[in-house]
Homo-oligomer: A and B are copies of this chain.
Amino acid sequence: MGCNLAIAGVTGAVGQEFLKILEEREFAFDSLKMLASSRSKGKRIEFKGKSYVVEELTARSFEKIDIALFSAGGARSKEFAPAAVKSGAVVVDNSSAFRMDPEVPLVIPEINPEKIKENKGIIANPNCSTIVGIVPVWPLHKANAVKRMVVSTYQAASGAGQSAMVELEEQSREILSGKEPVCKAFPYQIAFNIFSHNSALGPNGYNEEEMKMVKETQKIFDCPEIAITCTCIRIPVFRAHCESINLEFTASITADEVRDLLSTAPGVSVLDDREHNRFPMPIDATGKDNIFVGRVRQDESVADNRGINIWVAGDQLRKGAALNAVQIAERLL
């Protein structure tokens, strides 16, 4: 049983990762349509020994398509996802366009796969830093409800797309050869520097990336009362996000209990080797499916042993984006 598949935004960083993951996971399809903006129209992409011609993404692109994986930006999702649904496709959308729509399931298959079947044509893929952070928090929350999370992120360039990864490389070369770094993809220097996430700030001073972590987690956990505060930072790393996560639980919990819960959690790899001071790094997570977790410690600043610190690393392009969407598509079939 295959399906007619379309990828909107196939030439982008996430689009390219879709192809890698579809191949690795031997995703069964009858036909595959590669879609992108008019800029990339006519470009050829080799996939599984076959040459595909990139077509322009339009409202008429989705005839006979069963599943459309969208990663072409929020504006294009808003414009073309309804047309895809009208044509009979189910859209798995990687943008933020529909995530907070109460009619649209927001899904991480390790957490709320049951929401997939409630879709009315669109299923939203959560934001990358949300996915990377909460895949390991979920099994803990199920065992002992999390009351409050304080999150600080260390986010890779890939979250801003292919051009941002190229910019990190180019700026690094420029600085190492004594030149002034040129900023195009990012507003500020990313090589040998870090900056507060460059998404728009709301009236409360939090940027969109930070508010996504708060609102998306509450929706995915189906737990509007979970209190979350977040600080999102861009760092000079290519494609894996890390997060420092401080958790306050309802009841007491030990670091050993947390490690035990994580050791059997789907999508999670525990890397918590205190003896060798060996914990998750971006280069561990790069190209890997699982979220790596380590630095599991009792937070002694919380009373009654209800506090835990963890440190996570996950590939932003894989589980943070393309893999999660493909996992949703697999469950749709």
Contacts and interface: CB of A to CB of B under 8 A. Distances in A.
A205 B295 contact: yes
A295 B204 contact: no
A172 B205 CA distance: 34
B231 A295 contact: yes
A282 B205 contact: no
A98 B189 CA distance: 39
B236 A236 contact: yes
B300 A201 contact: no
Given A172-B176, A295-B231, A279 B205 contact: no
Interface stretch (A16-24, A70-78, A102-110, A237-245): A237-245
Nearest to A196: B279
Contact of A192 (B150, B196, B237): B237
A116 interface: no
A269 to B, nearest CB: 16
A311 B210 CA distance: 14
Contact of A195 (B150, B172, B200, B281): B281
Interface residues of A, number: 56
B152 A274 contact: no
Most buried by B among A173, A201, A238, A296: A201
A242 B233 contact: yes
A297 interface: yes
A206 B228 CA distance: 23
A246 to B, nearest CB: 5
A283 B189 CA distance: 9
Interface in A210-260: 227-229, 231, 233, 235-238, 242, 244, 246, 255
A204 to B, nearest CB: 7
Interface string A300-323: 111000010101000000000000
26 contacts: A148-B301, A150-B150, A150-B246, A169-B176, A172-B172, A189-B283, A193-B281, A194-B237, A194-B282, A196-B277, A196-B294, A201-B274, A201-B277, A205-B297, A205-B298, A227-B302, A228-B301, A229-B246, A229-B302, A229-B307, A229-B309, A231-B244, A231-B295, A231-B311, A233-B242, A244-B244
Interface of A: 148-150, 152, 154, 168-169, 172-173, 176, 187-189, 192-196, 198, 200-201, 204-207, 227-229, 231, 233, 235-238, 242, 244, 246, 255, 274, 277, 279, 281-283, 294-302, 307, 309, 311
